Structure 1
Amino acid sequence: MLTLDHLAVSAATLEDGVAMVEDRLGVRLAPGGQHPAMGTHNRLMALAPGLYLEVIAIDPDAAPPGRPRWFDLDRFAGPPRLTNWIARCDDLSAALADAPAGCGQPMSLARADLRWQMAVPADGRLPFDGLFPALMAWQGTLHPAALLPETGCRLVGLELYHPQAEALRAALQGRLNDPLVAVHPGDRPELRALIDTPAGRRVLE
């Protein structure tokens, strides 16, 4: 079974992404780090126990990874926006065997003391225009959310909009049982996160 792990806000630069999220939610993001294998870097914010948000962008100081980056960041353009959601599991190989084609192959990754495996598509593009979750499995008991300061923010809903909503809902059926995640018909692929903040409810999209 899959569990919602974190949300990804993509940005052309990390500074732009952080500024957007901090302005929208009215809280400060915590430091993150670098991902040498992907040539990216991030900043983080807690959303609940075992749940967080990351702002991620290509790291201009990192060496090119020699392959397409995750979250289709090589093709990213425009203002910062919520582009992906990530689901964790206990057995990544088993989850991939039962997932739609195109979810990727497991990569072993690390950042500071964190260790995990993540399925990264060969072309960087996840199924359903990125609205199918990226699949991962943490190695050990350490999780980023437990290391982040409390912000008073809580995710209260993750809304997925897609022209093929029924197919996306079917692809998630039996794999994810989370009342926070809802799939709706939409004219174009879109993610919306409803977040309660100290200043009231806000929407990231």
Structure 2
Amino acid sequence: MPPRCHLDHITVIAQTLDEGARFVHAALGVAPQTGGEHPRMGTHNLLLRLGDSAFLEVIAVNPLAPPPARPRWFALDSLDARSAPALATWVVRSSDIHATQAELPETLGEIEAMSRGALNWLITIPADGSLPLGGVAPTLIEWSTATHPAAGLRDHGLSLLGLELCHPEPERLANLLQPLELGNIVAVSGATSPRLLARIMTPDGLKTLSI
């Protein structure tokens, strides 16, 4: 039996952090705050608290950082001038990422050590930088900290109520997620193409975030 897992954060990809911040503000009425840099990936991010142990991340290529000698994560190398910001994928937290990955019917990538400032973690990253199942399959993460990073973010009164995962192969996706035991915060449905939709409660009512 793998360790119990939790929905940790949702990830918006964008060409620039400014574009990503405008996308989030237009959808939720709140702007994300500065996060930091990921030296190994040549990326940086913004963050928005969605509860005591959940957050939204906006991630983009850092134009001031040297490019990595490998594909960047979250399919960021695939973006071009026509790419609009989008809710691209989501991340599941485990207390033992190796045990959790071993229980899954499909691999989500190699387990690698990453950092941002004083934070360190283990995370699954496909070697080609792609998003498994078009982003509707999660990334796994194991934080190397006793306090969740969301606890240190400004609280705007937002909370993540649910995440809908749409995919042409819903049974395959449901089978992949079953060992994670995430409960009813995640729902799977059929669709002609991969798509995520997050339902977020804000001080101004229920809002949705998607592509």
Relative to the length of structure 2, the TM-score reads 0.93
> 2:185 corresponds to which letter in structure 1?
L
Give yes or no for the alignment of 1:109 onto 2:121: no
- Does the CA-based 8 Å contact 1:57-1:73 persist in structure 2? yes
Q: Tell me, in whole angstroms, the C-alpha distance in 1 between the residues paired with 2:28 and 2:44.
A: 21
In structure 1, the partner of 2:185 is 180
Q: Which deviations, in whole Å up to 9, do the C-alpha atoms of 1:139-164 show, x marking residues without a partner?
A: 12132101101111111110000000
Unaligned runs of 5+ in 2: none
Q: Tell me, in whole angstroms, the C-alpha distance in 2 between the residues paired with 1:45 and 1:18.
A: 10
Partner secondary structure for residue 180 of structure 2: coil
What is the number of residues matched between the two proteins? 205
In structure 2, the partner of 1:144 is 149
- Does the CA-based 8 Å contact 2:9-2:54 persist in structure 1? yes
Give yes or no for the alignment of 1:126 onto 2:136: no
Shift of 1:68: 1.0
In structure 1, the partner of 2:79 is 76
Partner secondary structure for residue 27 of structure 1: coil
Q: Tell me, in whole angstroms, the C-alpha distance in 1 between the residues paired with 2:25 and 2:40.
A: 27
Q: Tell me, in whole angstroms, the C-alpha distance in 2 between the residues paired with 1:140 and 1:43.
A: 20
- Does the CA-based 8 Å contact 2:106-2:176 persist in structure 1? no
RMSD, matched Cα: 1.2
Unaligned runs of 5+ in 1: none
Q: Tell me, in whole angstroms, the C-alpha distance in 2 between the residues paired with 1:118 and 1:79.
A: 25
- The alpha-carbon distance between structure 1 residues 40 and 168, as it changes in their structure 2 partners (threshold 3 A), is same
Equivalent residue for 2:140, pick from 112, 135, 142: 135
> 1:62 corresponds to which letter in structure 2?
A
In structure 2, the partner of 1:4 is 7
In structure 2, the partner of 1:53 is 56
Relative to the length of structure 1, the TM-score reads 0.96
Partner secondary structure for residue 167 of structure 1: helix
Q: Which deviations, in whole Å up to 9, do the C-alpha atoms of 1:31-82 show, x marking residues without a partner?
A: 1000011111000000011000000011111111111111111113411010
Q: Tell me, in whole angstroms, the C-alpha distance in 1 between the residues paired with 2:132 and 2:119.
A: 26
Partner secondary structure for residue 107 of structure 1: strand
- Does the CA-based 8 Å contact 1:161-1:191 persist in structure 2? yes
